[in-house]
Amino acid sequence: MPSDADIAEISQIFLSATAKDCKAYRESVRDFVQSNLPAAKIYLQEDWSEGGHFVVDVCKARVTESDGYFGLFGFRYGWIPPGFQYSITELEFRWAEAKWGNGEAPVFILLPEAGSPAEKHLREAAKAQTDLDPPDLAALDNANQTRFLQTVKEWAADGRIMVFYRDQVELLGKALSSIQNWNLTLLRQALAGRRQASGDIPLAELGRIGRDTQRMALVDALEDFRSVKGERAAAFLVHGPENHGQREFAEFLNVWDDEWEDAQPICGQPADTADALIRWTCGQLGTPMIERAALPELAQTLAARLRRGPVIIIQRSIGHRPERLTRFIESFWRPLRKALATQDCGSGRLYWFLIDHSPLPQAGLEAVLRMDENDTHADYDDLLALPALDDISAGAVRKWLKELRKSAGIKLGEAQRDEIAALATTPNGNPSDVYNRLTLHGFWASAS
């Protein structure tokens, strides 16, 4: 059933600023805006001493949930969470840029005017903090903040909203008017969503049917990969004729707890260019790119995340261009592995799954290693192709239906299993998709 929801006016605002040097400014903006806009709520950064990973998750969630963003930037770069190469303040800005994208957006950059009392005050406050650091760390903080401010200004110069202020009073008035002016001109639009019926069979369950060959080949390949010290990245190709369960198998991989344990896979469908793939991956890792797409920066982002544990990426589609596999290997995968080799990745490993909705060509792809035909040691610069997804047999469906008693609590007698399996796999059945025919039986509703 469709569900309509309006895009709200700005009421919840995330205010991003380094905590100590900008303390007076950030708190006064919060108090002034909330006093004059009773419905408004401004989120400030949390107490960073509570532990890195949790704080990062909370801040990213609040940026994502907010209606608007204030970037109140002074002259201190600030705390870099473990496993990241950017400060929490820069990460928040990147999340906001990724959330609202290009063009006009409720993202307001608040900067002190050059030579103003506000600039002098913020520089002194930043220096008071960096003076507490060792000289090398203080110099690095200054260099990082100079780079970050230049990046922000270049991004905002393309039609975004930059607000310059001379003192604290002027800052308060301009912060409030930014929200009010935006709300006056906001055009509301409806968004429609879909909900899955409770009796629908989960795609991950459907992805298990008849895929023992692929699963066992992958288990063996993963074990071999993990046994090779120094290897940090492997890419696997899921392929087969169109409409042979690629989508369902991708969802199975996404929830494959036997292999991924506590790691949460990243599953999505970026555009089929190398630049788009680089940007999408960085965004999914929580560090969106705001400049040109660059593999070295992606490698740095990946390495920081790998130092915390494994990364599993499932790319739902590689597109349909004839050269898609060769282009992925030559323009993305091999350069990425080369860049990763220069980084400290800790003990984490990258597992990349590429979903192709076409069968493999019989020849002409030397950089694709067919795992069902070659028993030699894998070259991880290559794309490792799983056995092809094939037609689902009635026997495979019967086996799966029997297993549902343990996995989903659905009890079907032998006669029922035979009937469902026969109807689901009848050649030229209606509908043509085996998965749709299984869903039409409605037996999954008994597990809901």
| CATH number, domain containing residue 243 | 3.40.50
Supply the pTM of this predicted model: 0.69
Closest to 54 (Cα-Cα) out of 83, 21, 22, 74? 83
Are residues 233 and 280 located together in one domain of the fold?
yes
Are residues 302 and 400 located together in one domain of the fold?
no
Confidence band, pLDDT 50/70/90 cuts, at residue 140: very high
Confidence band, pLDDT 50/70/90 cuts, at residue 374: low
pLDDT of residue 47 exceeding 50, the answer is no
* Amino acid identity, position 214: Q
Residue 199's pLDDT is 67
Cα–Cα distance for residue pair 418/370, rounded to 1 Å: 34
Listed residues 336, 362, 385: the one ending a domain: 385
Top-confidence residue, 308 or 181: 308
Domain assignment present for 203:
no
Domain assignment present for 291:
yes
Closest to 235 (Cα-Cα) out of 416, 144, 356, 131? 356
| CATH number, domain containing residue 143 | 3.40.50.10140
pLDDT of residue 5 exceeding 60, the answer is no
Alpha carbon of residue 318 to chain centroid: 17
Are residues 82 and 60 located together in one domain of the fold?
yes
The 3-state DSSP class for residue 147 equals: helix
Are residues 229 and 330 located together in one domain of the fold?
yes
Residue 429's pLDDT is 67
Domain span holding position 307? 211-385
Q: What is the mean pLDDT of residues 192-221?
A: 79
Top-confidence residue, 42 or 53: 42
Are residues 136 and 272 located together in one domain of the fold?
no
Residue 34's pLDDT is 87
Residue 198's pLDDT is 55
Confidence band, pLDDT 50/70/90 cuts, at residue 196: very low
Q: What is the mean pLDDT of residues 214-240?
A: 93
Residue labelled with tokens 């930014």: 178
pLDDT of residue 431 exceeding 90, the answer is no
Domain assignment present for 165:
yes
Residue 192's pLDDT is 31
Alpha carbon of residue 193 to chain centroid: 20
Strands of the sheet containing 68-72, edge to edge, are 41-43, 12-16, 68-72, 107-112, 161-165
Q: Number of folded domains in the chain?
A: 3
In 210-245, alpha helices (H): 212-227
Listed residues 128, 161, 192: the one ending a domain: 192
pLDDT per position as a tens digit, 382-420: 999 999 999 999 999 999 999 998 888 888 999 999 999
Residue 392's pLDDT is 93
pLDDT of residue 4 exceeding 60, the answer is no
Cα–Cα distance for residue pair 360/238, rounded to 1 Å: 10
Are residues 114 and 175 located together in one domain of the fold?
yes
Are residues 25 and 161 located together in one domain of the fold?
yes
Domain assignment present for 1:
no
Domain assignment present for 197:
no
Q: What is the mean pLDDT of residues 259-279?
A: 85
Are residues 323 and 237 located together in one domain of the fold?
yes
Which distant-in-sequence residues (6+ apart) come within 8 Å of 74 by Cβ?
17, 18, 21, 22, 25, 112, 122, 123, 125, 126
